Structure 1
Amino acid sequence: MKKPQTLSLQEQLLQSGLASDAKAKQVKTDKRKQSKLQRSQGIEIVDELKINLEQTRLQQAERDRELNLLRKQTEEKKALLAQIKQIVTLNRIEQDVNGVLYQFNHLNKVKTVYVSENVRLALISGRIGIICVDNQYEMVPAEIARKIVSRDAESVVLLNENSQEVHATEDPYAAYQIPDDLIW
């Protein structure tokens, strides 16, 4: 059995008709001249193909870094939202279907929840906050709402300030109470 011959790329191109003998000889001559110049004079010949390949490789590496950073940020955001959802699930205050209507503003729209009278007063005084998780509104104690604010402020829809903390000493309207417990 005869071993199959392996042909060089140049020979394969010549056989397939993609290159001519004259062009092959010219490329060989140019390559020999370049190597001779490099050896004798120490002149380094710039290979544009190598430079282009290196630039392409660097650009691809930069794109990969940017994509990895974006992927990492989205994963961190998902993990943060999962943490918030778990915190809300563990500490939520149930809505009272037979309770009074409490209305609040979220994204320039009036939203409503049904709560008991005690929960409504706690919402007004700032002891309870409203959180938006998975497009649902949940009520949690104010301490939990503040923890959620430190993680993601966009999740907290309503967290009134405590009435004692709101009064300023230089407020000209301090003597007038603002009725924020109106039922619409």
Structure 2
Amino acid sequence: MAGSLHDQLLNMGLANKTQAKKAKESKRKQAKKKKSGQNVEDNSAAIQAQVEQQRQEKQARDRALNQQREEERLRRAALAEARQLLAQHAQPAPQEGPLDYNFVHNRIIKTLHLDRTQHTQLSRGTLAIALLEKGYGLIADDIAARIEEKDPSLVIRIRPEPEADPDDPYADYQIPDDLMW
């Protein structure tokens, strides 16, 4: 291929005549300034600073995105671990039992039919209610605490009532947990 790079670019259609003319003119001006001993404006430093700034901004965006992805991955792993603990340790609640245990879930009063030992353990806080895929189940309180750390929406823990004040005049008149209205 004969001819200058300028001619080749024009022939291939990658540049038009006005772009070529501007490039040739700016090159001629810089060469003239160099010959006369004047400082040639060095735009390369400004361009490099701008490129460096863009690179740093991109790195900051990438770091933030990676951190967000890592947090999402950890949240999903914790949720999967909580569901695995539920699957391993939860027992389905009995369908029939002599005692009813009422509790609140999503502002709705629900009822579990339990035997006396389960009812007592649930009232004292040694058992907790687990939200299973098909209804409710019972789970030990220590495992419920581990699940609650990861996803509090999967368990309903019953907090035992604090000890009564010794100076309370009605301390002798406790309302039993199994009182039926």
Same fold (TM over 0.5): yes
2:70 matched residue in structure 1: 72
Give the secondary-structure state (helix, strand or coil) at the position aligned to 2:137: strand
Residue correspondence of structure 1 range 31-180 to structure 2 within 5 A: 32=31, 36=34, 45=43, 47-99=45-97, 100-132=99-131, 137-161=136-160, 166-169=162-165, 172=168, 175=171, 176-180=173-177
Alignment deviations for residues 95-122 of structure 1 (CA, whole Å, 9 cap, x no partner): 1112354332233333344433432221
Give the secondary-structure state (helix, strand or coil) at the position aligned to 1:70: helix
Structure 2 counterpart of 1:120, one-letter code: H
Alignment deviations for residues 141-176 of structure 1 (CA, whole Å, 9 cap, x no partner): 112122333444443322323x5xx20446747614
Change (3 A) 1:155 1:170: farther
Instruction: Give the deviation of 1:22 after TM superposition.
Output: 2.4
1:14 matched residue in structure 2: 10
Instruction: Find the aligned partners of 2:91 and 2:60 in 1 and give their Cα distance.
Output: 48
Give the secondary-structure state (helix, strand or coil) at the position aligned to 1:110: strand
Instruction: Find the aligned partners of 2:169 and 2:58 in 1 and give their Cα distance.
Output: 62
Instruction: Find the aligned partners of 2:39 and 2:17 in 1 and give their Cα distance.
Output: 32
Change (3 A) 1:155 1:42: farther
Which consecutive residues of structure 1, in runs of 5 or more, have no partner in the other structure? Answer: none
Instruction: Give the deviation of 1:86 after TM superposition.
Output: 1.7
Aligned-residue RMSD, C-alpha: 3.8
Aligned residues: 175
Change (3 A) 1:41 1:30: closer
Instruction: Find the aligned partners of 2:46 and 2:108 in 1 and give their Cα distance.
Output: 61
8 Å CA contact 1:103–1:111 kept in 2: the answer is: yes
Which consecutive residues of structure 2, in runs of 5 or more, have no partner in the other structure? Answer: none
Instruction: Give the deviation of 1:56 after TM superposition.
Output: 2.8
Instruction: Find the aligned partners of 2:4 and 2:175 in 1 and give their Cα distance.
Output: 92
**TM-score, normalised by the number of residues in structure 1:** 0.69
Give the secondary-structure state (helix, strand or coil) at the position aligned to 1:177: coil
Structure 2 counterpart of 1:77, one-letter code: R
8 Å CA contact 2:141–2:157 kept in 1: the answer is: no
Give the secondary-structure state (helix, strand or coil) at the position aligned to 2:131: strand
